Amino acid sequence: MVTDTFVQSVKVVTGRGSLQRIGELLEKAGYQKAFLVFDEFMKQSGVIEKITQKLQEHKIAFVEYGEVLPDPPSEIIDKGAFLCKESGCDCVVAIGGGSSIDTGKGINVLRFNEGQILDYAAKNMKPCAGLIVVPTTAGTGSELSNGAIITDSKNNVKAPILCFNNMPEYALLDPELTVGMPYQLTLMTGLDAFSHAVESYTSKNANPMTDFICEKAMQTVIENLPIVLVQPQNLAAREKMQCAASIGGWMLYSASAHIGHSMAHVLGAQFHLVHGAACAYVLPTLLSKLATVSTEKIKYVGQLLGVIYSGNETTAEIGHRVSNAFQQYVQQLGLPPMPSYEISQAELTLLTQKIVQEPLAIFSPFPLEENEVQALLAEILQ
């Protein structure tokens, strides 16, 4: 049986000022009433007003749903889906960062599938059309990825929902929308994009096509993230970061993240860490471990980070040097140190079990023995 290993089905509209085309885009696609999904900041920033103006110019009706929250809770999605169906909307337009896009994805799933969104963490969904996404950050890549991360508030876990049947129809990438991101949000989302590329590069589902693209994505983030942090109005660098973030999401679809994201999801839910920060806190330990199974790839990551090799380094030395180089990179960018947590052995064991059972963990390039994962986790939390 032939299995596709390199697919990208989303129609992407790029370029500075491309937000102005949103009305034209929906009209051309044949939609008549849009369900707009966003958070309070998007409303206050004036972006939603710009969108609704363009929709009105093209005689497209709309309903606003501005209740998105960080780490989107399932109940916000279930409520939004009820309102969307009740109001007779024929498409969902998600505007904002990863939380807004994942909320929009969840709402769109429930337009075509019965039940609640968390049901689809464990079962397949029918095909879903009519999702348009407008990212305003450069990190999650949710606009081109095949997943949505939904928070199960009752059980304090982040539930990945596979969305192969719910991919966006269009992604509109306007770098001007990312200019207003605060320093820390720019940093955290940028580090998330980098972690996507690193993990997809080393996933056991990686292939020569994804490797080629992941290498460029990693290089782009390393070079441009420092620029946008100190020059937030630099649209050329913002555009490159936005491309790298979207490509990172595409690589999640094509090769997948793995144990690093499993750790970040579990630690993020347990300690309420910002996702990009959780990924960055996990990466130094993960890079050292990955060097034992993907030596040449981790060596290349080190070269991107400025590591110079003599050629006589052991695998352990390569892992150590790359880990240190990444730590120095994020420290120079202003990532705060990971908070210190006092946890018992029983808690450490429970966290380890959650990580091993997390859906993305199966793509780890090294075997997931619980004692070994626990040792990695203990090193991260020390």
Contact partners, residue 235, CB within 8 Å, separation at least 6: 16, 175, 176, 179
Cα(174)–Cα(96) distance, rounded to whole angstroms? Answer: 12
Which burial class, exposed, middle or buried, applies to 13 when counting CB atoms under 10 A from its CB (0-12, 13-18, 19+)? middle
Query: Could you give the angle at the alpha carbon of 152 between the alpha carbons of 138 and 147, nearest 5°?
Result: 40
Helix axes 235-254, 208-230, angle to 10 degrees: 150
Domains of the chain: 11-178 (3.40.50.1970), 183-381 (1.20.1090.10)
Give the pLDDT score at 1.
Answer: 52
Q: Taking the chain (382 residues) in consecutive chunks of 10 residues, what is each chunk's mean pLDDT?
A: 72 96 97 98 96 98 97 97 98 97 98 97 95 96 94 90 95 96 96 98 96 98 98 97 97 95 96 95 98 98 98 97 98 96 94 96 96 96 90
Cα(285)–Cα(282) distance, rounded to whole angstroms? Answer: 6
Contact partners, residue 165, CB within 8 Å, separation at least 6: 124, 125, 126, 127, 128
Amino acid at 159: A
Cα(75)–Cα(81) distance, rounded to whole angstroms? Answer: 10
Give the pLDDT score at 6.
Answer: 75
**Residues paired with 12 in a beta bridge:** 171
> For 120, which DSSP code?
G
Asked whether the beta carbons of 64 and 94 are under 8 A apart, the reply is: no
Which burial class, exposed, middle or buried, applies to 341 when counting CB atoms under 10 A from its CB (0-12, 13-18, 19+)? exposed
